[in-house]
Amino acid sequence: MYNRRMRGLEHPGRPIYERIKNLQPKCPLCGIGRVRQVDHHLPKSRYPYLAVAPVNLVPVCGDCNFVKLDQIPASKEEQTLHPYFDNVEDERWLRAEFLIHKPDNGDAGTVDWQVRFFVDPPDVWDPQLGARIIHHFNVFHLAEVYEAQVADELDTLGFMLETVFDGGGCEDVRAHLLDVAHQRTRPRQNNWMTALYEALAASDWYCSGGFTLVAAG
């Protein structure tokens, strides 16, 4: 039914496939990739009777679909998030920290930096939900996915912050970063850019002029 009645371009079920694929432009599993495909939340190889059930068909990017493949949860904690039923945007759980590693030789013009993304489940959550988000985060390698976006963002940001710094110094830079972080919470507060800008604002080194060294590579 799925392969021969829905997925093909000329098949009668194709409009349903397209409607699901066009529910949103960005992949709900990673929040970054552009939706290109429809995935079975529970794999059709194990659950064939759900192969054409709309609630089991979710829009995804190609990378997330490839990573997930036919993974089957062995416990409740090993269930990845279902974009239709798991509302996890009421509380913040995605965080980041900006780390710097200064060279041993004391060269102030050279510094290694890293942005680390991680999950910090709220204390008010059921532990099972927190475990599921951590599992989802790890299955789709979201730390690496988000880190791959950071360099280009910081290149552009660093040169823009020079003007902000010239006008009001470190605290104006911090306020600007927090303002951008707040803007990025729409439409979902747990996105990598919100976490990134909050982490940058928390770094005295970055706000005090480190942004120029980061932007310069």
pLDDT at 187 over 90: no
> 106 and 201: one domain?
yes
pLDDT on residue 9: 65
Domain carrying residue 28: 2-71
Contact at 8 Å (CB) between 178 and 193?
A: no
Asked if the structure places residue 89 within a domain, the reply is no
Residues 145, 62, single domain; the answer is no
Can you tell me which residue has the tokens 């066009």?
22
Cis peptide preceding 187, ω within 30 of 0: yes
Q: Is a pLDDT exceeding 90 seen at residue 170? A: yes
pTM of full prediction above 0.85:
yes
Mean pLDDT value across the chain: 89
Q: What is the pLDDT of residue 206?
A: 95
Q: What is the pLDDT of residue 177?
A: 97
pLDDT 10s digits, 69-109: 777 888 889 999 999 999 899 999 999 999 998 766 655 55
Number of domains in the chain: 2
Do residues 38 and 143 both lie within one domain? no
Within-domain flag for 77:
no
In a domain, 80, yes or no: no
| 108 in the same domain as 206 | yes
